[in-house]
Amino acid sequence: MLRLQAPLTDSYTLASPDELASRITAAKLTLGDRVLILGHHYQRDEVIRWADKIGDSFKLAKFAADNHQATDIVFCGVHFMAESADVLTGDHQRVILPDLNAGCSMADMADIDQVEEAWAEIAAVTAIDRVVPITYMNSAAALKAFVGRHGGAVCTSSNARAVLTWALDRGDKVLFFPDQHLGRNTGFDMGFGESDMRVWNPRLDCGGLEDREVKDSTLLLWKGHCSVHQRFRPEHVATARAEHPGVEVIVHPECAHDVVEVADRVGSTERIQEWVADAPPGAVIAVGTEIHMVQRLAREHADKTVYSLDPLICPCATMFRVDAPHLAWVLEELVAGRVVNQIVVDADDAEWARVALQRMLDIT
């Protein structure tokens, strides 16, 4: 999805790390409690060091909503995260994304036009009132609103099973988007087999499926994925076990199912944090998730060996767009009385997205 971020001036792009740090410090002191900086786990260290709160996307959005004194929320993450924060925060709060080009490749794999078209195509071959739409948190606000309007809910990587169980208590079939891997891994975990799941390809007529396949499937999984987590392969796990006998392999559920099958544990970013923290001194842990978080865990737990399961070390390219120059820029603009890069969700979409998020909270 194309977003337009104007290039920064040389005063930011050519500034040294020390100069940027000094300017960010001064801006934060001037703004005081009115500004709240949120940092997702996958952000680079030069940004995380300034965060008032670190966490996953939903945790950060909730934290912003609960901090009423902050009027300006600088969300160091990606576009859908800032949208979720705007949905949940009060009318007196503004959400700012330091770089508008910080999107999410997975979230961009499903847009509202594609989902509405898929919904119409499914309705043409099966009873649509028995289909429950579920969207992963990593999706645009318009998709969260879509599931809200159509009786569905949002899920996170940690509560996907509970949400899918809820959905199948209310219908015969789930349309799950945008991450096929989280949907598939959750489906297998619930006891479903391959024959119960089909991949819906939005680029093909009727998702590339025959009418009978749509009717017979329980889980219709959108053809989307995380560009980072799809890199991890079973061969990486095999290598880790060969090189480090006794290693514990922990991966995110956005990884492909063949990786999840051979890992020791599978969990969200928050669960991975907890598992590493709880591991005994001397433990060797190979982690399958974004490299900035893995490297941070390794530094924070120096009594253990924590390393990336993928030796090529691929960062999230979109998260990587948020950096110290962009953070300094948005803060200094606030000091000057100018709000840049504010993320605003349409009022109707925001209302229905809140409905979908509240259903998730009620379920879990």
Given 198, 226, 254, the domain boundary residue is 226
In this predicted structure, what is the pLDDT of residue 296?
Answer: 95
Rounded to two decimals, what is the model's pTM?
0.94
Domain match, 88 and 153 both: no
Given 186, 211, 226, the domain boundary residue is 226
Domain match, 97 and 123 both: no
In this predicted structure, what is the pLDDT of residue 315?
Answer: 76
Distance between CA atoms of residues 135 and 160, nearest Å: 10
Domain match, 16 and 69 both: yes
Burial 2-22 (b: 16+ CB within 10 A, else e): eeeeeebeeebeebeeeebbe
CATH number assigned to the domain comprising residue 270:
3.40.50.10800
Residues 6+ apart with CB under 8 A from 139: 80, 107, 110, 154, 177, 178
Q: Could you tell me if residue 352 is inside a domain?
A: no
Could you tell me the pLDDT band of residue 316, with boundaries at 50, 70 and 90? confident
DSSP-derived secondary structure letter, 190:
T
Domain match, 157 and 169 both: yes
In this predicted structure, what is the pLDDT of residue 357?
Answer: 96
Distance between CA atoms of residues 252 and 271, nearest Å: 9
Domain match, 166 and 275 both: no
**CB–CB of 55/158 below 8 Å?**
no
Mean pLDDT of the chain: 96
Q: In this model, does residue 351 exceed pLDDT 60?
A: yes
In a 13 Å sphere around the CA of 125, the CA atoms on its Cβ side amount to 17
Q: In this model, does residue 199 exceed pLDDT 70?
A: yes
DSSP characters over 27-58? HHHHHGGGEEEEEETTS-HHHHTT-SEEE-HH
In this predicted structure, what is the pLDDT of residue 230?
Answer: 92
pLDDT tens digits, one per residue of 57-108: 999 999 999 999 999 999 999 999 999 999 999 999 999 999 999 989 999 9
For residues 355-359, average pLDDT: 97
In this predicted structure, what is the pLDDT of residue 1?
Answer: 54
The CA–CA distances, whole Å, from 266 to 45, 62, 226, 246, 260 equal 25, 24, 16, 17, 7
Could you tell me the pLDDT band of residue 312, with boundaries at 50, 70 and 90? confident
Domain match, 79 and 152 both: no
Domain match, 130 and 214 both: yes
Given 226, 249, 279, the domain boundary residue is 226
Q: Could you tell me if residue 363 is inside a domain?
A: no
DSSP, collapsed to helix, strand or coil, labels residue 245 as coil
Q: Could you tell me if residue 313 is inside a domain?
A: no
Q: In this model, does residue 313 exceed pLDDT 90?
A: no
pLDDT tens digits, one per residue of 289-301: 999 999 999 999 9
Domain match, 217 and 239 both: no
Q: Could you tell me if residue 357 is inside a domain?
A: no
In this predicted structure, what is the pLDDT of residue 4?
Answer: 80
Domain match, 233 and 222 both: no
Domain match, 121 and 204 both: yes
For residues 252-273, average pLDDT: 97
- 3-class SS shares of the chain: helix, strand, coil, % to 5: 50, 15, 35
* Length, in residues, of the chain: 364
Structural domain boundaries enclosing 209? 107-226
Q: Could you tell me if residue 289 is inside a domain?
A: yes
Q: In this model, does residue 285 exceed pLDDT 60?
A: yes
Number of domains in the chain: 3
**CB–CB of 127/103 below 8 Å?**
no
Domain match, 248 and 233 both: yes
Q: Could you tell me if residue 194 is inside a domain?
A: yes
Q: Could you tell me if residue 277 is inside a domain?
A: yes
pLDDT tens digits, one per residue of 12-56: 999 999 999 999 999 999 999 999 999 999 999 999 999 999 999
By percentage, how much of the chain surpasses pLDDT 70? Answer: 99
How many whole angstroms from its chain centre is CA 126?
A: 31
User: Which residue in this structure is represented by tokens 């703004």?
Assistant: 31
Q: In this model, does residue 247 exceed pLDDT 70?
A: yes
Q: Could you tell me if residue 3 is inside a domain?
A: no
Domain match, 296 and 339 both: no
